[in-house]
Chain A
């Protein structure tokens, strides 16, 4: 038995050494490592017919730039599950990265806390590829565009299954609160996105400092809770594709992925307005190779990697090299006839702090801003955290759970009593 497992392990060790051998490398120049930190599955990694972008960069750098910098580069690519996770790792000093790709509000927060370097645009020569509108005025999180270069962007909308959901019910955020579909509705499993769906439904700004409005949104989520099948992130794909759930708020680009496996799924952007997000490339102040990081960002804007990423991720791409590319257009239209309309739908980016119901515009979109604790906003971050916590921890304890507890504890006590009495009896019989 033991020998057998041990021999298994020995085989594993052998395999391991084979792996390690294959990673040996001899270069003329010293090698340095560029640390890139990104969302999980958020870069073209060589799957399908698409290239591995990081390998492309290594090849490009080592061929064209290695002489100039005096070293070769190896990309160390790692991933995080959320902006907050990335932020924690960075701030705690437990890791240092050269390139990070956080979302809008996190970039704003990091700029405020002096965690990002100003980009060196003399190195980022491909910046011109980024569409004009995304260089100026788009990024309210980085108004002067000094710290970040947009990587992807997109909008949140509602995905529904046309086999089960009536046409007449769609159009607004109300669908997520429609009792007709009780138990088939999904909701975001993070406070910012979940509370935002309620705020949009109420017509408020998602960046309001008014505690009462947040409380109203939280009350709405509590009202929704009995209808919700699950609070999810990536599970949404399987649940929507298998029709386990029928209605879910999620990102436009991901809708296309789901549609690929289930063509009953449809998508719309709620009329009250919705969230627009951007994930952008930045260089944190702790970067060890900031210059190479700039080269990396520059490279990502060039045609081949940008195209590969846009096709792999499926989100809207701010890069004109991509959006004007016929191959890309064909590829996306092959996925879904209206893919380009869905990804690049017209919409007005409105002032992020005004209540949306007071703004007169068609298809309103607003960015999230970082929620912080300050004296003026009465520690809003703590407040919203508490609201979310309240929503999440609320749970009913069904009677059967209590019955089961009582039975188990009763049985345990009974067993103990039984053994105790028997022991005493035996002891007394021995002494007799």
Chain B
């Protein structure tokens, strides 16, 4: 193309400037705080102090991993069923799954507490004595509940865009319903699952509200630890170091996961 216009050359410029100013520069500050002490002198102590938080890291990763897998197991069939509903019904069904996201997470989690608590709705109605709030299971449940729509959405988007003729061809060639699902639909919806995993795993691993409320504060996740460190100016540096390590961990795991992704796939969240 000869006429490479001024417009197309500059279109990305605002974004590049914005990224440098507000994505790269802030991260440099995290790096700076992580590598200095309270007086601003260079030190690696903050990173060495992290060994105390090994268990916390492990716990956060485990709980969010479990929550993410449950989200896939619950969300995938949901997305699949929505995509199989009458076309005129689909938008309504999908929106119905989306509406809870417009109610604030804090309030949703808070009212979840009223349901699960020792003297809460479930125990009162069933006359039972389950101890749920304060366990790790409750935190996993909270993560699944809060972030499930983020899993349903991208999977539905991918499935609903699939070429119906491919599915028909598969059943013409002798696949039954189940085989169509496992051998055609599932492999083709890989990219949806991967965006779903990103949307669920990342907020789960860094949450602090869910663990404070549903975990009862009897154990800490890494998000709680970071929040606690940043409540006190004296511990900013350790907090920054923890943030840095968490960020690197997540970026690495995302990079690995993206190896599985289909490079030609569409990444849109909404149909």
Contact = CB atoms under 8 A, between A and B. Distances in A.
Direct touching of A and B (C-beta under 8 Å): yes
A120 interface: no
A97 B150 CA distance: 39
Interface stretch (A136-144, A222-230, A266-274): A222-230
Interface string B97-129: 000000000000000011001111000100000
A429 to B, nearest CB: 17
A242 B120 contact: yes
A1 B91 contact: yes
A405 B62 CA distance: 6
Given A1-B91, A230-B134, A245 B218 contact: no
Contact of B113 (A235, A393, A401, A408): A235
B216 A408 contact: no
A184 B224 CA distance: 23
Contact of B232 (A5, A228, A385): A385
Q: Max chain B CB contacts within 10 Å: which of A82, A189, A225, A244?
A: A244
A239 interface: yes
A18 interface: no
Interface string A325-341: 00000000000000000
A242 B119 contact: yes
Contacts of B114: 238, 242
A243 B119 contact: yes
A393 B216 contact: no
B228 A389 contact: yes
Q: Give the dominant DSSP class at B's interface.
A: helix
A404 B62 contact: yes
A231 B260 CA distance: 41
Interface in A304-332: none
A189 B217 contact: yes
Contact of A395 (B65, B117, B220): B220
A4 B113 contact: no
Contacts of B94: 1
Contacts of A92: 233
A87 to B, nearest CB: 8
B234 A238 contact: no
A84 interface: yes
Given A235-B113, A385-B234, A229 B55 contact: no
A244 B270 contact: no
A319 B141 CA distance: 48
Chain A: number of interface residues, binned into ranges: 35 or more
A401 B67 CA distance: 11
Nearest to A415: B260
Contacts of B225: 389, 392-393
B72 to A, nearest CB: 10
Interface in A379-393: 381-382, 385, 389, 392-393
Nearest to A381: B234
A225 B218 contact: yes
Given A183-B131, A189-B212, A393-B225, A401 B231 contact: no
Given A242-B119, A381-B234, A408-B66, A392 B220 contact: yes
B246 interface: no
A393 B221 CA distance: 8
Nearest to B229: A389
Given A1-B271, A229-B216, A231-B217, A392 B228 contact: yes
Contacts of A91: 233
Contacts of B270: 1-2, 5
A183 B216 CA distance: 11
A229 B119 contact: no
B158 interface: no
Nearest to B65: A408
Interface string A180-209: 000110000100000000000000000000
A244 B118 contact: yes
A377 interface: no
B219 interface: yes
B158 to A, nearest CB: 15
A212 interface: no
A398 interface: yes
Given A4-B91, A395-B218, 4 more contacts: A88-B231, A229-B218, A235-B213, A242-B114
| 4 smallest beta-carbon distances between A and B, as pairs | A230-B216, A231-B217, A395-B219, A242-B119
12 contacts: A1-B95, A88-B233, A91-B233, A189-B212, A189-B217, A225-B218, A232-B217, A235-B213, A392-B224, A393-B55, A393-B219, A401-B59
Interface of A: 1-2, 4-5, 82, 84-85, 88, 91-92, 183-184, 189, 225, 228-232, 235, 238-239, 242-245, 373, 381-382, 385, 389, 392-398, 401-402, 404-405, 408, 416
Interface of B: 52-53, 55-56, 58-59, 62-63, 65-66, 69, 90-91, 94-95, 113-114, 117-120, 124, 131, 133-134, 136, 212-213, 216-220, 224-225, 228, 231-235, 260, 270-271
